[in-house]
Amino acid sequence: MPFIELKNIQKYVLKDINLAIYDREILALVGPNGSGKTTILNIIAGLTGYRGDVFFDGKNVNKIPAHKRGVGYLLQDLALFPHLDVVSNIAYGLKIRHYPEMIIKNRVEELMGALHITRLKGNYPQQLSGGEKQRVAIARAIAPFQKVLLLDEPTSSLDAQTAKYFRIELKTLLKRLEITAIIVMHDLLGAEEIADRIAILHKGRIEQVSKPEDILFHPGSDRVSEFIGMPNIIHCDRCRVLSTGLIEVTSGDLAIVLPYEGTKISKIAISPHDIYISDTEPPGPALNRFKGVVTEVIPLRSLVRVKVNVLGRELLTELSGEMFDEMNLSVGKEVFIIIKLRRLRYAE
C-alpha cells in the first residue's frame, strides 16, 4: 500500500496527477522548469490549495493543515531562520511541539553529528557556506521526527563534485532514518544516483514513473526520450573481461570498452552529446574510437544532431551548430567518432 498517494490532483500547470510513493522510498520528481515539480511538493506539504485528493498512509489529508501533516520540507532557498543560530534552527520544530528539553538536546546533537555540523553550533545562517546551510536545513527539516521529507533541488547550490558526494550521503541518511522522501531535481544523472524510482514530469503531466534504469533503457514516450537526451541504447551480445580492470562488450561488430565493476553488462546507454565527432582521424589511443558514415543531419536551434552509421549500427551524435559548420558535415561524409568512457551508463 502506498504511503503517500496523490489522486487526480489539479493546480496551476498540474493536470490530473496520480502518483503513489511507498513507505521508505526515495522518489525523484524530474522535469524541465515550469513542469510543476515544486507545486507537487507544496501540495503534499499542505502549503497550497488544490483540487483532488492526497492520502497519507491511506488517510485523506485534504483538510489537514501544514502544521499537522508531519512532513519535513527542504526548500530550494533553504530559508534558514536568520534570527536563530544553528542549534535553535534545528531545535525549532521540536520546541514548537513542546518536546522535553532532554529529547530536544539529544535529537539536535544526534542530527548534528550525523550531518557533520557539530562545529557550527553557535553560528548564524549568515556565517555558513552553501553546503553547511544545506546540512543545517536538512537537520531542521527532519528533527521533529518527520517520516516524510520533501526536498526541492537539494544540490542546486553545490558544485558538481560536492553535489555527488552529498547525494550519496543524503541517500544513506534517509535510508538509515527510514524516511520516505520526494526529491525534486532537474538533472536525471543526479536523480539516478539517489532515487529508488524516478517520475518524469512534463508540462504538468507525469510521463513515466519507473526505476532509474528503466527510464534510461525503456523511455515510455518520445517526450521522456527527448528529456533524457535521446540516448543510444546498445544491447550487448558478449562480454570479455580484459586484464586491466576493463571489460569489452560487443554488439554485432561494435566492441566498446568499459570499466569493469565485477558484473556483466547487458545494455549500454550513450547520450548523443557524449559522442565526439570529427572529420579527421583524432590522435591518441584507438579506445572506443570508430569510423563511420553520416546518414542523416537533424538541425535543432543551436545544436545539430547527426546520425552516423558505425559498423552497420546507427548512432546518434550531437554537436554545436558552429562545430557542424566548421566540419562541413553532410550525408555520406566519412567521419570518426569517440565515445566518452566516463559518461557511459549501463544495465547489468
Partner 1 sequence: MTLKRISILLSFSVFILYGGLILSLFYFYNGQLFLETIKSERTLFSIRLSLITATIATIASLIIAIPSAYALSRFRFPGHGLIDTILELPMIISPVALGATILIFFNNPFGILLQERGVQFVFTVYGIVLAQFITTLGIAIRLIKAAMDEIPVRYEEVARTLGATPVKAFFTITMPLSKKGILAASILTWAKALGEFGATITIAGSMAMKTETIPIAIFMRLANADIEGTVVLVLILVFIGLSVLYGVRLLTRRTSPQ
Task: Catalog residues that contact partner 1 under the rule CB under 8 A.
Answer: 45-47, 65-73, 75, 77, 79, 81-84, 92-93, 96-97, 124, 126-127, 140-141, 143-144
Query: Reduced to 3 states, what is the DSSP secondary structure of residue 27?
Result: strand
Is 251 in contact with 235 (CB distance < 8 Å)?
Answer: yes
Dihedrals phi, psi of 106, to nearest 5 degrees: -65, -45
Residue 280 Cβ vs partner 1, minimum distance, rounded to whole Å = 54
Is 27 in contact with 21 (CB distance < 8 Å)?
Answer: yes
Which residue's CB is nearer to partner 1, number 70 or number 220? 70
How far is residue 209's CA from residue 37's CA, in Å, rounded to a whole number? 14
Enumerate helices (H) and strands (E) in the chain, giving the number of each: 10, 21
Which residue's CB is nearer to partner 1, number 41 or number 216? 41
The burial of 223, by beta-carbon neighbours within 10 Å (0-12 exposed, 13-18 middle, 19 or more buried), is given as middle
Q: How many CB atoms lie within 10 A of CB 114?
A: 18
Residue 44 Cβ vs partner 1, minimum distance, rounded to whole Å = 10
Q: Which residues pair with 319 in a beta bridge?
A: 304
Which residue's CB is nearer to partner 1, number 77 or number 261? 77
Which residue's CB is nearer to partner 1, number 64 or number 230? 64
- CA distances 98 to 89, 91, 348, Å, are 15, 11, 50
Residue 33 Cβ vs partner 1, minimum distance, rounded to whole Å = 19
Residue 185 Cβ vs partner 1, minimum distance, rounded to whole Å = 20
Residue 39 Cβ vs partner 1, minimum distance, rounded to whole Å = 13
Q: Which residues contact 195 (CB under 8 A, 6 or more apart)?
A: 26, 27, 28, 183, 212
Q: Which residues pair with 214 in a beta bridge?
A: none
Which residue's CB is nearer to partner 1, number 83 or number 342? 83
Buried/exposed code over 253-272 (b: 16+ C-beta within 10 A; e: otherwise): ebbbbbebeeeebebbbbbb
Residue 191 Cβ vs partner 1, minimum distance, rounded to whole Å = 23
Residue 57 Cβ vs partner 1, minimum distance, rounded to whole Å = 18
Which residue's CB is nearer to partner 1, number 122 or number 321? 122
The burial of 289, by beta-carbon neighbours within 10 Å (0-12 exposed, 13-18 middle, 19 or more buried), is given as middle
Which residue's CB is nearer to partner 1, number 78 or number 215? 78
Query: Reduced to 3 states, what is the DSSP secondary structure of residue 117?
Result: coil
Residue 284 Cβ vs partner 1, minimum distance, rounded to whole Å = 51
Q: How many CB atoms lie within 10 A of CB 332?
A: 8
How far is residue 62's CA from residue 147's CA, in Å, rounded to a whole number? 18
Residue 277 Cβ vs partner 1, minimum distance, rounded to whole Å = 46
Which residue's CB is nearer to partner 1, number 49 or number 332? 49
Sign of the C-alpha dihedral computed for residues 336, 341, 343 and 346 taken in this order? positive
Which residue's CB is nearer to partner 1, number 98 or number 176? 98
